[in-house]
Amino acid sequence: MKQWVAKASRPEVLGGLGGFAGLFDASALTRYRRPLLATSTDGVGTKVALAQKLDVHHTIGFDLVGMVVDDLVVCGAEPLFMTDYVCIGKVVPETVAAIVRGIAEACAEAGCALIGGETAEHPGLLAPGEYDVAGAATGVVEADELLGPDRVRAGDAVLAIASSGLHSNGYSLVRHVLLKQAGWELGRQVPEFGRTLGEELLEPTKVYAKACLELARRVEIHTYAHVTGGGLAANLARVIPAGLHARLERSTWTPPAVFQTVGEVGSIERGELERTLNMGVGMVAVLPAEQAESALRALDELGLRAWSLGSVAAATDPKAPGSAALVGDYAG
C-alpha cells in the first residue's frame, strides 16, 4: 500500500502513513490573497457490489476520487488532500491494498495528496467478501476566482464534456435491469459494448479535476456542473441562478450504447433514464459564448471530448428558480 500512497503526495504533505492524523503544511496558502477552503465527501454506491462479484478492486478508487474531487472543481477549487475510509467484513490485505492503490492512483491523476485513511473490519455487519468505501477531500480557491451561479449570465454557452461511462450513479437501476430482470451474466459478451458486461459496468469514473482547472486558466469559466445522481439537467440547474434557464439540445450527441441498452432492456421511459444516469455527459462548463470555440479546442488538447450542448437564456419569470431542461431528440 505504501508504494502507491507515496505516489499520491504533494510537497506540502508532512510525515507518512501510520500516524493518527495526516499533516498538510497550510503555510502554502499564504500565497493566496483570500483563500477559501472547499470540502466534499462521497462514496461509490452500489458499484462496489460489481467490483466484489468480479474480484476487481483496483478501479473503484477512481470512482471514489472522481466523485469527490470533481465536486470541488465545480467552484474552481484545486484539490489539496484526501482521506479515505474502507469498511470491510474481513480484512484481506490484497483486497485492501488494491482498493487503496486505485485511490492513490486517482489522487495522483487529480493532483491531490492522499494523506490518510482508515480501514475498519466489521464482521457480522458485512460478509467476508463485502466492503464499502468513502472519502473526503479539501481544496482551495482564491475568493475572487470562485466559480458559481453568481457568474452565470443570459447568453452564456453550455459545453458538455463526455463521461467515461456510467461513472458511479444509477447502479441500483442498472443492476436491477441487466442482472436481475434480464438475467445477464457479468461475463456476457455484449456486441454493442465491444467487451463483456462486467468490463463495461466497471469502467472507472473519469477524473476531470486537472483538466477543468487548466481550462479555467485558459478561458473565462463561469461555473461547472458535475453530473452525478439526479442526471444532467438537475445537476446543471444547481448552478443556474434565479431568473435564468439553460436549454440543452439532445440533438448534439448520441448517448453511448450502455445507456441505450439499459433503457431498451428495461423498457425505461426516457425521462426516468435521464434523471438517473449521466447519458454520456460527465461534466458541464458554462462560459461566455464568445469563448466557447476556444474552450472546445483547449479541451481537445487536454484529451477530453466535448461539444456545444446548449445555452443560457432569461426565464419567462425573472423570479423563478434557476432551471435546466433537455429538449428535442438524441442524434442517431
- pLDDT category at 249 given cuts 50, 70, 90 is very high
- Position 2 pLDDT exceeds 90: no
Could you give the percent of the chain with pLDDT greater than 90?
A: 89
Grid cell locating 174: 442498472
Distance of CA 2 to the CA centre of its chain: 26
| Three-state SS annotation for 221-237 | CCEEEECCCCHHHHHHH
- Position 216 pLDDT exceeds 90: yes
Q: For the residues 54-59, what does the mean pLDDT come to? A: 96
Q: What whole-number distance in Å separates Cα of residue 131 and Cα of residue 120?
A: 10
- pLDDT category at 3 given cuts 50, 70, 90 is confident
Q: Identify the CA nearest to 324 among candidates 249, 247, 226, 224.
A: 247
- At residue 332, the pLDDT reads 77
The alpha-carbon radius of gyration of the chain (Å, integer) is 20
Collapsing DSSP to helix, strand or coil, 75 comes out as coil
Residues 6 or more apart in contact with residue 200 via CB below 8 angstroms? 165, 190, 193, 258
* DSSP tag of 70: H
- Strand-pairing partners, residue 324, are 246
- Position 136 pLDDT exceeds 70: yes
- pLDDT category at 196 given cuts 50, 70, 90 is very high
DSSP 86-99: EEESS--HHHHHHH
Residue with cell 461547472: 224
Q: For the residues 113-133, what does the mean pLDDT come to? A: 92
Q: What whole-number distance in Å separates Cα of residue 48 and Cα of residue 246?
A: 34
- Position 129 pLDDT exceeds 90: no
- Position 111 pLDDT exceeds 90: yes
Cβ neighbours around 180 below 10 Å, total? 9
Q: Calculate ∠ Cα 93-94-95, nearest 5°.
A: 90
- At residue 1, the pLDDT reads 67
| Average predicted confidence (pLDDT) for the chain | 95
Collapsing DSSP to helix, strand or coil, 53 comes out as helix
- At residue 297, the pLDDT reads 98
Q: For the residues 32-39, what does the mean pLDDT come to? A: 97
Q: For the residues 145-154, what does the mean pLDDT come to? A: 98
* DSSP tag of 80: E
Could you give the percent of the chain with pLDDT greater than 70?
A: 99
Give the helix ranges, DSSP H, for the chain: 2-7, 47-54, 60-73, 93-110, 171-174, 197-201, 209-218, 231-237, 257-266, 270-276, 292-301
Contacts of 270-274 with C-beta under 8 Å, sequence gap 24+, read 274/231, 274/232, 274/233, 274/326
- Position 172 pLDDT exceeds 70: yes
- pLDDT category at 148 given cuts 50, 70, 90 is very high
DSSP 226-283: E--TTHHHHHHHTTSPTTEEEEEEGGG----HHHHHHHHHHT--HHHHHHHS-TTEEE
- Position 202 pLDDT exceeds 90: yes
- Position 300 pLDDT exceeds 80: yes
Q: For the residues 149-161, what does the mean pLDDT come to? A: 98
- pLDDT category at 247 given cuts 50, 70, 90 is very high
Q: For the residues 118-141, what does the mean pLDDT come to? A: 94
Q: For the residues 152-176, what does the mean pLDDT come to? A: 97
70-110 pLDDT, tens digit per residue, is 999 999 999 999 999 999 999 999 999 999 999 999 999 99
Residue 74: Cβ-neighbour burial (10 angstroms; 0-12, 13-18, 19+) = buried
- At residue 282, the pLDDT reads 98
Report which residue type is found at 216: A
Q: Identify the CA nearest to 232 among candidates 169, 274, 261, 171.
A: 274
